[in-house]
Structure 1
């Protein structure tokens, strides 16, 4: 089988295990179905996810020019507390910012390598947790806009982590935690504006990833340094492809790279 196209983050479907799909312009691939098969990845060119030009990718699948101009790459994406659409203030494109920022957002706890706090749109639950490789997660608050979620995350970061150790996550060196206990313990630190949105009673969500073998010593594949790679696919976790030789490939981190995929 042969596939070709620009890489974008894998689409997912919640299940036991989670189903993964790579979507190309004229085709799609259920990645679960190629576990234990030999996969060849060949980097062909760049293709910016915004302008489509063959320019080096800067961040988030965009070339440098697009990254600093388009509304979907504004600072408030990574730092929700900088959101201003609720004040009717524009960053790059107010109509776009209102569409994204003025909708229900979730502040959550996820456990992938450790417990961390995060923010996502309500519509992205549980997709966001899947993308982070979390094996368990729970909502803390559901607020009506991104700003309130952002200031809540900032307040809680003083008491719980906000980063994932991706190597630990990929090696599956995990420890189950009582997220309900953590949620209740953190309630006292939620800002006053967000406290009415605290979720009093809910359960943890548990996630199962399609992995036959976890890497023992993680080796990251960088297409700029290694444009051609062949390995046997042994699992999928987060947005990573795991190979039997301990190589891992971050699909989301390689958005905007146009590749060919050979499977046999």
Structure 2
């Protein structure tokens, strides 16, 4: 059976000690990807792209799904969204103060995660599990809870002098796991944080572990760009982070948000 629609980022459900359940979203319809592991699937790009905010038809996206005017004006695409230590809310120059109050002036976790290796990151309190799974983390733990996104970003920036703050997606997808002890890394990381931030520190949070639905872990991966390769057919080997892993390459779904595609699995 063929299904068509506009791509949105993968959504997932996590049950401890079980592989994560992934859903592919096509114009609000959901496809349970775990059901198709080991099956040959075909993904075809129809040539239509629409901005995920204003729905304008566009030739390419900016910032994972936006047209350029939205990318240049929305608060969630501002530089401070990827560099929260540069938050300018209190300078009166926030693109949308209501968004800033609701999103940025709220508690945020600073965390350690193992994906392509150990990394430091931040996320809104209550959003941490989704964030860790989107990054393909196999284990993660909060180490601080700051009152605002900017405070958390400042701690992250300090820790990035000692730990990576980005994920190597190729290494994350080909990783067999890790024997890194996050308890030890946490103790070291907490020692790097200056005294003014000590009221925010967390030293005994439970380390969470994640399993991903995979029938095979690829030795090498190549990225699929639907603008360059509009039809892709391959066996579904697994799903991890925001990546659909085929034996013919991997599709980063979030980066293709707004693309109109058809999906077909053999035998259905």
Q: TM-score range by the shorter chain?
A: over 0.9
Secondary structure of 1:96's aligned partner:
helix
C-alpha displacement of 1:33: 1.1
CA–CA separation in structure 2 for the residues paired with 1:29 and 1:194: 44
CA contact (8 A) 2:9 2:254 kept: yes
Within a 5 Å distance, the mapping from 1:1-264 to structure 2 comes to: 1-15=1-15, 16-44=18-46, 45-55=48-58, 56-85=60-89, 87=90, 89-245=92-248, 247-264=249-266
The 8 Å contact of residues 148 and 193 in structure 1, kept in 2 or not, is answered as no
Structure 1: unaligned runs, 5 residues or longer? none
164-173 or 205-214, which deviates more: 164-173
Q: CA offset at residue 25 of structure 1?
A: 2.7
Alpha-carbon distance in structure 1 between the residues aligned to 2:196 and 2:82: 21
1:131-188 CA distance string (max 9 Å, x none):
1111111111011110110000000001111111111111124422111111111112
> Does the 8 Å contact 2:9/2:253 carry over to 1?
yes
Judge which range, 118-127 or 172-181, deviates more.
Answer: 172-181
User: In 2, distance between residues paired with 1:77 and 1:196?
Assistant: 24
1-side partners of 2:133 and 2:228: how far apart?
A: 28
Unaligned ranges ≥5, structure 2: none
Tell me, what secondary structure is at the counterpart of 1:10?
A: strand
Q: How many angstroms apart in 1 are the aligned matches of 2:153 and 2:208? A: 22
**TM-score normalised to the size of structure 1?**
0.95
> What is the alpha-carbon distance in structure 2 between the residues aligned to residue 71 and residue 112 of structure 1?
28
157 and 218 in structure 1: CA distance in 2 versus 1, 3 angstrom threshold: same
- Partners of 1:24 and 1:223 in 2: how far apart? 16
* Other structure's SS at 1:8 match: strand
CA RMSD of aligned residues (A): 1.4
1:184-239 Cα deviation digits (max 9, x unpaired):
11112224332211112122111000000111221211101101111111100111
Q: Distance in 2 between matches of 1:262 and 1:117?
A: 38
- CA distance in 1 between partners of 2:106 and 2:224 (Å): 36
- Cα distance in 2 for partners of 1:10, 1:158 equals 32
| Cα gap change, 1:91 to 1:231, in 2 (>3 Å) | same
Number of aligned residue pairs: 262
Q: C-alpha distance in 2, partners of 1:166/1:122?
A: 24
